[in-house]
Amino acid sequence: MESQAVKRMILLVITVMVILFGVFVYWDNNRLLVEYQTIEMTQLPQGFDGYRILQISDLHEKEFGDGQKKLIEEINALEYDAIVFTGDMMDKPEKTDFSAFFTLLEGIENKENAFFVPGNTDPDSYEITQNGNVQKTSFIQEMEEHGVLLLESVEAIQKGEDSLYFINFDLASLDPGEGFTPVYGRVARPIEKAHAYAEYQNQQLLQFSQLQESDDEVLIALSHYPIVDVQMDYLERISPIRKNMLILAGHYHGGQIRIPFLGALFVPEAWYDRNGLFPPRDRVSGLWEYNGTKQYVSTGIGSSDALSFLNFRLFNPPQINLITLTKEQDDSSEG
């Protein structure tokens, strides 16, 4: 009899623990944090000292309250100069219901400078017409009608005589003299193999090449994918990477599943050994610098279902990121 009572007690404890774990995971996945980050940049024009960029990454169609009410209120309560969406707003490329993302865009008040780069789970940005021309897909057209611009190449922000440039990193990492090629190390979408698409991207690349004539401009490069150190070395051999560039990326979800004191167990990164299993702890999220190039990686706000039974975040609450740019002090001018 005592053994039966012990078994029932153990079963009760396990049941309670499972319920408490489920409640915690639900709460942790539906709260929303604002991560503040100040980033110093050399050669930052005086007019952009204190410039604020709000980064939204990896929504994966997650909803924060009815009509994205909670997320919209959090965003509209912040003061920022530009808002950037670094990919994976949708959960699968073939999706045709864009309401989770577009409802969010409808509610955001400040979209004066709003830019988007696609992620691997977003629909295609372009399509080939029957006449063989390249045009933006309905997803991109509707997004731009909601006030967010697809960052195809370069967009300049002016403040008086000062300028700051938002650029598409994938395009900026190419050598204009060699022309457009699909990004090495990623699965190319079918459209990227089309001649018309390559010609279209060459026109975008030409716009960026004009910036390469000077090393003075400060560039904010948007990329869905973080650029890991070994990839940075590879790209340097193709086309030198500008040192006064800040890369903003997402994709990793901060590891999505994090273990206290251990951190992320896995990030989806083919450039890492073991394809991202047990990644370097200082290369999962936040700010880092490699060979003079700074990079900030958001943990994002949604989760992916690469493994359907692990489609949640653990010890890794959703976050949006408010980045403030400041001018790095020249040590030679002190004292």
In this predicted model, what pLDDT tens digit does every residue of 316-330 receive, in sequence order? 999 999 999 999 876
Q: What are phi and psi of 208, to 5 degrees?
A: -70, -35
Q: At a CB cut-off of 8 Å and minimum separation 6, what does 85 contact? A: 56, 57, 114, 115, 116, 117, 148
Three-state DSSP at 213 gives: helix
- Region 168-174: mean pLDDT is 86
Are the CB atoms for 117 and 86 separated by under 8 Å? yes
Q: Give all strands (DSSP E) within 169-239, no chain letters.
A: 219-222
Q: At a CB cut-off of 8 Å and minimum separation 6, what does 191 contact? A: 124, 126, 127, 128, 197
210 vs 63 pLDDT, higher one: 63
Q: What global pTM score does this model have?
A: 0.94
Q: At a CB cut-off of 8 Å and minimum separation 6, what does 160 contact? A: 47
Query: Roughly how many angstroms between the first and final C-alpha of the chain, as a whole number?
Result: 82
Amino acid at 73: E
- Going by CATH, does the domain composed of 31-333 fall within 3.30.70? no
- Tally of CB atoms within 10 A around 26: 11
Q: pLDDT, tens digit, for every residue of 126-150?
A: 999 999 999 999 999 999 999 999 9
β-pairing, 82-85 with 114-116? parallel
DSSP 311: -
Q: Would you kindly state where each structural domain of the chain is located, as residue ranges?
A: 31-333
- Burial 125-150, CB ≥16 within 10 A → b, else e: bbbbeeeeebebbebbeebeebebeb
Q: How far apart are CA 124 and CA 200, in angstroms?
A: 15
Mean pLDDT of the chain: 91
Q: pLDDT, tens digit, for every residue of 53-85?
A: 999 999 999 999 999 999 999 999 999 999 999
Rg of the chain (C-alpha set): 22
Residue 171 has pLDDT above 90, yes or no: no
Are the CB atoms for 246 and 220 separated by under 8 Å? yes
Are the CB atoms for 137 and 125 separated by under 8 Å? yes
**Maximum average pLDDT range among 215-229, 263-277, 313-327:** 313-327
